[in-house]
Amino acid sequence: TDTDELLICEGKDKQFGVRLSAPPQEQVTAAVRLTKGDSDISVESGGSLIFTPSDWNVFRYVTLHAAEDNDTMDGQAALVIEANGLSSLNMAAKEHDSTDDTPPEIAISGISDGQVIVGTVVIVATITDDDGIIQLVRLYIDGTPIETSTSAIYKYEWNTTGVAPGQHKIKIVAYDMCGQPCEKEITVTVLGASLTNG
């Protein structure tokens, strides 16, 4: 699988990939099923996966669903992936309770709102969340997406050589594991190169 443990937000779906570790002699059908744990977690699609000798190493995707419930507990379930003649594989799925409505927070350092910039600066964004899991961080400059990351401490070296002089907006958008967004934007001024006589 492409992950050892799957985290699913309550009321949402989450996918994981499955492939074989070696080419089979003939077509293989693998079954994905829950063996124990929270009954709110279910296999939404991909419960039966077919692999052939020619595409055994291509991921097939399984979708799990975590139904909403009335408790405030993070449920867990165990899954097994098995096929005749092959070693089975066990993995865990964890439901994150939807009572967490707190989005992540972003702190930008290395550059500040209103700063005048010449040359290269390092933009540092520190993202914090009560779960400690950041799904995605994206940097925008003047509304254009520049780079994405999943790191809670994100760094980008911005070389302003060749950037038009004047004001520019830098925005960081971050999403926690349940997709709750947070964003922070600052405006900086880039100075162009000056020409002198002599």
What digits encode the pLDDT tens for the residues 56-113? 999 999 999 888 777 667 788 899 999 998 999 998 888 877 555 678 899 999 999 9
Closest CA relative to residue 135, chosen from 1, 8, 2: 8
pTM of the shown model: 0.59
Tell whether the model's pLDDT for residue 197 goes beyond 60: no
Quick check: 109 and 122 in contact, CB under 8 A? no
Cβ-in-10-Å burial (0-12, 13-18, 19+) of 182 comes to: middle
Residues 6+ apart with CB under 8 A from 159: 119, 120
- Residue 33: pLDDT band (50, 70, 90) is very high
Strands across the sheet with 60-66, in order? Answer: 13-18, 60-66, 41-45
Tell me what percent of the residues of the chain surpass a pLDDT of 70: 92
Q: What is the mean pLDDT of residues 17-33?
A: 94
Residues 6+ apart with CB under 8 A from 46: 15, 18, 32, 60, 61, 62, 63
Tell whether the model's pLDDT for residue 164 goes beyond 70: yes
Dihedral sign, CA of 129, 106, 110, 119?
positive
Return the structure tokens found at 146: 């520049």
Q: What is the DSSP letter of 53?
A: T
| Coil, helix or strand at residue 47 | coil
Over the chain, what is the mean pLDDT? 87
How far apart are the C-alpha atoms of 169 and 141, rounded to whole Å?
Answer: 6
Per-residue pLDDT at 145 = 94
Return the structure tokens found at 11: 């009321």
